Amino acid sequence: MNEESIESTLHEERLFPPLAEFSAQARIPDRATLDSLAQAANEDLEGFWATQACAEITWHKPFKTVLDSTNPPHYQWFSDGELNVSYNCLDRHLREKADKIAIIFEGEPGDITTFTYHQLHQRVSRFANVLKAQGVTEGDRVVIYLPMVPEAVIAMLACARIGAIHSVVFGGFSAESLKDRIEDAKAKLLITADGGHRGGRIVELKAAANRALKEGCESIQHVIVLQRTGHEVDMTEGRDLWWHEAEAKADGNCEPVWLNAEHPLFLLYTSGSTGKPKGIQHASGGYLLGALTTMKWVFDIRDEDIFWCTADVGWVTGHSYVAYGPLAAGATIVMYEGTPTFPDPGRFWKICQDHGVTIFYTAPTAIRALMKYGDDIPASYNLSQLRLLGTVGEPINPEAWMWYHRVIGGERCPIVDTWWQTETGVHMIAPIPGAVPTKPGSCTLPLPGINAAVVDEKGHPITTPDRGGYLVITKPWPSMLRTIWGDDQRYYDTYWSKFGSQYYLTGDSARRDKDGYFWIMGRTDDVLNVSGHRLGTMEIESALVAYPKVAEAAVVGRPDDIKGEAILAYVILKGTRPTRGADKTLTEELRAWVGDQIGPIAKPDEIRFVDSLPKTRSGKIMRRLLRTIARGETITQDTSTLESEAILPQLQGKE
């Protein structure tokens, strides 16, 4: 961890106690109730989770074993129990909630479709039969590459119904990224769409899928194509079939397959500090339990709520809080296809108003982007139905928190700042809105049954308030990742090597204040967080050096008001450094290239062409120095190892 990040500069003293009106109706109405839950978990962690698992999940075969830690760090939960996650999200609601709306979908062009639980159950069952007809069976991998449309959730639940393992690839990822993920997962089937609507344009998903499949992906036998935009796309005879045609022929009954609680529910690829993306593997039972308990504790979900999580299903937030969590809880969700600023920056607030959203969950980057347009836009919509707000993905700066609180929440909605990761499956550190006072910028305290700590280099807990260290989780929890798909070694090395198999290493640095509140300070590894999306610096560097003109590249992040972190790339060309003017065209070429290789979110915000990069004697790029320079801070590091001091002005972008 770099030393500069250890001392925090943020001193936020404001405290917002839960509002009496909110607490009065909340599931966890006060600190005493919360403390008794936490105490139960402290006294008997397994007993606590066993009680929760019995209360929340409908089991086909009850479990006897709670936590199996015979083979750490491969912890297993409820491993002799059997369930089906799609049954828990759909069938069990049919008796009382068949006609309750499950999904309110709004497309970017303005089209609105709703699905009751009964209708969703029908569509999922039918589509599960489509999957079976294509030869998909238990344990097969299915890659889902769709826009934010209800069919994405239908496809996920259909996989869960038959025990196929889905891996959703964000629609904003390129053909190249899609191919890497398909190949790593050795997926049998790809589900995609002709395209999706985003920012007034069409995202060419089928075209990208065609490119990915042309270059490899031998494991793919069939491609199911959803018609969304209706524009013409190339279909390959014998391999590709239209979703609507296949579904029309399918039977509407599909019994769920009863699966072991440890059966993998999904893989979700996320960036690591080195090499290719990691396929984070989640299990069925423990994950579902975490999704359900956090819906109740953190989102205080009630039958009459209209719940809108703005995340794409391509990210873990979309898995846990668009699909599995709210549906398992029998809630009504809003799903929106497009961008927050199309056709204008009032779109989110209009959706909240039109559909009567009561719980709204988004990323700090979206809040900062919308805040830029001022208070008048949200003020022109009726947001009075909102009762709870949430954020996720990166630290929220207190200014954005205050704006969210004042302008969107009308000072009456608690804000839950939820810290968690793809690997943790669900919320880990977050306020319980009726019981825990909040502080702008802090994710507050670990949830009941979650043991988090901030430790020093040696793994000892840091007791000095506000001193930063490594954020670790000290005991297993049900929704934890089970491994990295096909790479146990990488699983050990990444998460369980620094402090042994006892402490799960989150990769984040954090500090605790005098009240024990957690404040996340950033990543300790070389992972960037751009607009709430994790990107490995190495992946962007690899993309850059794959360009014929590029010799070497180093990528670092620097703080950005809107995106959280912006991407700055230092590039050495194979030829001579371009002169000013010539570098503009080249910058655009490189940005477009990275966009094609990884996806538009990975495009560097700035590229500086340099003659050499600062390296240590062992040849490692001096990233700390580059970060200092990228931030425009004074250089305190020893620069004597630089090949030539003369490159400093180049690195600083002054020459």
Residues engaged in binding ligand 6R9 (CB under 6 A):
270, 315-317, 392-395, 417-422, 443, 506-508, 520, 523, 529, 534
Q: Looking at beta carbons only, is 105 or 519 nearer to ligand 6R9?
A: 519
Q: How far is the CB of 515 from ligand 6R9 (least distance, A)?
A: 17
The verdict on whether residue 125 carries a ligand-binding annotation is no
Name the 3-class secondary structure at 484. Answer: strand
Q: Looking at beta carbons only, is 115 or 173 nearer to ligand 6R9?
A: 173
Q: How far is the CB of 15 from ligand 6R9 (least distance, A)?
A: 18
Report d(CA 348, CA 350) in Å as an integer: 5
The verdict on whether residue 531 carries a ligand-binding annotation is yes
Q: Looking at beta carbons only, is 534 or 558 nearer to ligand 6R9?
A: 534
Q: Looking at beta carbons only, is 418 or 597 nearer to ligand 6R9?
A: 418
The verdict on whether residue 560 carries a ligand-binding annotation is no
The verdict on whether residue 92 carries a ligand-binding annotation is no
Q: Looking at beta carbons only, is 204 or 417 nearer to ligand 6R9?
A: 417
The verdict on whether residue 534 carries a ligand-binding annotation is yes
Q: How far is the CB of 462 from ligand 6R9 (least distance, A)?
A: 18
Q: How far is the CB of 146 from ligand 6R9 (least distance, A)?
A: 19
The verdict on whether residue 203 carries a ligand-binding annotation is no
Tokens standing for 253?
A: 């009954």
Q: How far is the CB of 258 from ligand 6R9 (least distance, A)?
A: 30
- Judge contact between 145 and 138, C-beta under 8 A: no
Report d(CA 484, CA 216) in Å as an integer: 22
Buried b (16+ CB within 10 A) or exposed e, 60-72: eeebeebbbeeee
Closest by alpha carbon to 163, among 33, 79, 261, 58? 261
Report d(CA 579, CA 426) in Å as an integer: 49
Tokens standing for 264?
A: 């993998």
What is the crossing angle of helices 582-597 and 175-185, to 10°?
30
The verdict on whether residue 349 carries a ligand-binding annotation is no
Q: Looking at beta carbons only, is 345 or 478 nearer to ligand 6R9?
A: 478
The verdict on whether residue 14 carries a ligand-binding annotation is no
Q: Looking at beta carbons only, is 371 or 473 nearer to ligand 6R9?
A: 473
The verdict on whether residue 483 carries a ligand-binding annotation is no
Tokens standing for 259?
A: 């699966």
Q: How far is the CB of 534 from ligand 6R9 (least distance, A)?
A: 5
Q: How far is the CB of 393 from ligand 6R9 (least distance, A)?
A: 4
Tokens standing for 76?
A: 């297993």
Q: How far is the CB of 286 from ligand 6R9 (least distance, A)?
A: 17
Q: Looking at beta carbons only, is 14 or 574 nearer to ligand 6R9?
A: 14
What phi, psi does 77 have (nearest 5°)? -125, 135
Q: How far is the CB of 519 from ligand 6R9 (least distance, A)?
A: 9
Residue with tokens 């030869």: 135
- Judge contact between 185 and 143, C-beta under 8 A: yes
Other beta carbons less than 10 A from residue 276's beta carbon: 18
**Eight-state DSSP code of residue 196:** E
The verdict on whether residue 624 carries a ligand-binding annotation is no
Work out the burial of residue 325: count CB atoms within 10 Å of its CB; fewer than 13 is exposed, 13-18 middle, 19 or more buried: buried
The verdict on whether residue 229 carries a ligand-binding annotation is no
The verdict on whether residue 422 carries a ligand-binding annotation is yes
Q: Looking at beta carbons only, is 440 or 507 nearer to ligand 6R9?
A: 507
Report d(CA 369, CA 372) in Å as an integer: 6
| Measured CA distances, 369 to 343, 362, 396, 407, 612 (Å) | 15, 12, 12, 14, 35
Q: How far is the CB of 246 from ligand 6R9 (least distance, A)?
A: 32
Q: Which amino acid is residue 513, in one-letter code?
A: D
Report d(CA 377, CA 234) in Å as an integer: 42
Please list, in sequence order, all residues whose beta carbon lies within 8 angstroms of the beta carbon of residue 470, skipping any fewer than 6 positions away. 1, 454, 455, 456, 457, 498, 499, 505, 506, 508, 509, 510, 524
Q: Looking at beta carbons only, is 311 or 573 nearer to ligand 6R9?
A: 311
Report d(CA 158, CA 144) in Å as an integer: 11
The verdict on whether residue 515 carries a ligand-binding annotation is no
Please give the annotated binding residues, written as ranges.
Answer: 198-201, 317, 393-395, 417-422, 508, 523, 531, 534, 545, 550
Please give the annotated binding residues for CoA, written as ranges.
Answer: 198-201, 317, 531
Please give the annotated binding residues for ATP, written as ranges.
Answer: 393-395, 417-422, 508, 523, 534
Please give the annotated binding residues for Mg(2+), written as ranges.
Answer: 545, 550
